[in-house]
Structures are given as structure tokens and as C-alpha cells.
Amino acid sequence: MALGNQEASAAPPQRMSPPCVVLVSGGLDSATILAMAKAQGFSPFAISFDYGQRHRFELEAAKRVCEAQGVARHVIIPLDLRSIGGSALTANIDVPKDRTDAELTSGIPITYVPARNTVFLSIALGWAEVIGAQDLFVGVNAVDYSGYPDCRPEFVAAFEKLANLATQTGVEGQPWKIHAPLIHLTKAEIIRQGVALGVDYSLTHSCYDPTSTGLSCGHCDSCLIRKKGFLEAHVPDPTRYAD
């Protein structure tokens, strides 16, 4: 019995990985932050949203990414943003194609979904509080998508502040941390970091306007930025394009 105790105490102490919640869309960015969260020692809980998006196919990619990387749990929250509309992703508005670099980086595109990241982070925050996490990971990026207001550092900082006021956890003095590790990276830099962490980008999906079988259009903003990212990163692009 004493020996047993000795053996037990000789074993390295079990260090529990702290839980975190990762917003996983199924795209390239969120696959990368999932790997980053794991590399930082977190046990990721993944959350995705079935929000009436035109490119609902991305949820299949989200499942594949979560399965490949291993997550504590993956929930897909149904939330009908089509009843609100107002975006090319959630209403009957055409997705812009073949925009120039200048067009891609100027103004807020019609694919902007009003308050989407605020909504997604809020629901993720609620879940994080329930599972006892203090950390959220979100793949927002201010470089390539500079047009989206809710992808900027000031948005992330304001959300973190709100979280500390909005929740029992925050009020009881355990501060929230909203991790946005991609916010200042280019798409090429993101891809290089992901490759270094072993991310399999062939599992991911970025296209806003895929075919019914999930092939990427190759011409929407998201496809153009993705293509350019792989090119600049000198990493073969594993995406299956329709043409």
C-alpha cells in the first residue's frame, strides 16, 4: 500500500489544461487559432453558428477541423440571422466577385453582417461562463478585412471590457481575456503560422458563394484573399475551386 502511495506521488502531477472557447467558422483563420489555443496549453471548446449563411457549407469544414484537431466539445448554435438580413451573406443580395485589391481594402463590403462578431462573441461568452472558461479565441483580422468594423483591435478591447461588466465571472473579479492572435497578421503570415502548427488547410472552407457540392467559387472576396495568402506564403493552395 505504501509502495502504491509512493508510486502515486512519484507520478508527475496532472496539470489540467484550462478550458477556452474558440469561435470556429470552418475557415482558414479559425482553424489556425484553434491550433494556437492548443499550442498555448488550453483545452479548446469550439463553437460555430448556423446563422442562415449562404455558405453554410463552412459548417461541414468546421466539423472536420474540430475533429482533426481534437476539441473538448463542439457545439453548433442555430441562429436565424436571415430574419434580420442586411448582408450579402444572409439576404438575397449578390456576393461581389473579382473585386480589385483597391476595392477589397476600401470601405465596408456588402458581405458585412450587421453586428455578427458581437453576436457570436456574446453567445461564446455565455457558454464560456457556463463551462468555467476565462478565455475566448476569435480569428478576427484587421489587415485583409480592414473593412469590417468588428474585426479591429478597438472592437476586441471594447468587447473584453463589456464582458467584465456583463457576467457573473467578470463581476466576481476574474477578468476575461479575448484572444485575437491574428489581428495584425497578413493572410500569408497566418498560413505560415498554421502550417508550422500542423494545420491541415485542405479541411477548411472560406468561399462565400460555394457550389452545391462545396467547391469554392474562386472569385468572391474571401476566395481572392485566401488565394493571395497561399501564393504569398509559398504554400500550395489545397482549395478545390469550381473553375
Which span sits near its own copies by CB under 8 A: 28-36, 114-122, 209-217, 226-234? 114-122
Which C-beta is closer to its own copies: that of 114 or that of 214? 114
In angstroms, what CA-CA distances link 70 with 63, 67, 195? 10, 5, 17
Which C-beta is closer to its own copies: that of 77 or that of 195? 77
Per-residue x/- marks for its own copies, 121-160, CB under 8 A? -xx-xxx-xx------------------xx-x-xx--xx-
Contacts 24+ apart (CB under 8 A), 59-65: 59/26, 60/26, 60/205, 60/214, 61/26, 61/27, 61/203, 61/204, 61/205, 62/24, 62/25, 62/26, 62/30, 63/26, 64/26, 64/203, 65/24, 65/26, 65/30, 65/31, 65/34, 65/203, 65/204
Minimum CB separation of residue 117 from its own copies in Å reads: 7
Please state, as a whole number, how many other Cβ atoms lie within 10 Å of the Cβ of residue 100. Answer: 9
Which C-beta is closer to its own copies: that of 44 or that of 229? 44
* Binding-residue total with its own copies (CB under 8 A): 42
Q: Does the annotation list 30 as a binding residue?
A: yes
Which C-beta is closer to its own copies: that of 52 or that of 181? 52
Q: Does the annotation list 25 as a binding residue?
A: yes
> How is residue 98 written as a grid cell?
473579382
E-assigned strand segments in 117-205: 135-137, 177-179
Q: Does the annotation list 79 as a binding residue?
A: no
117 lies in the site for its own copies, by CB under 8 A: yes
Which C-beta is closer to its own copies: that of 135 or that of 201? 135
Burial of 70 (0-12, 13-18, 19+ CB in 10 A): exposed
Per-residue x/- marks for its own copies, 158-197, CB under 8 A? xx-xxx-xxxx-xx--------------------------
Q: Does the annotation list 221 as a binding residue?
A: no
Contact 136, 121 (CB under 8 A): yes
Q: Does the annotation list 217 as a binding residue?
A: yes
Burial of 242 (0-12, 13-18, 19+ CB in 10 A): middle
Which residues are known binding-site members for Zn(2+)? 207, 217, 220, 223
Which residues are known binding-site members? 24-34, 207, 217, 220, 223
Residues of this chain that bind its own copies (CB under 8 A): 75, 77-81, 83-86, 108, 112-119, 122-123, 125-127, 129-130, 149-150, 152, 154-155, 158-159, 161-163, 165-168, 170-171
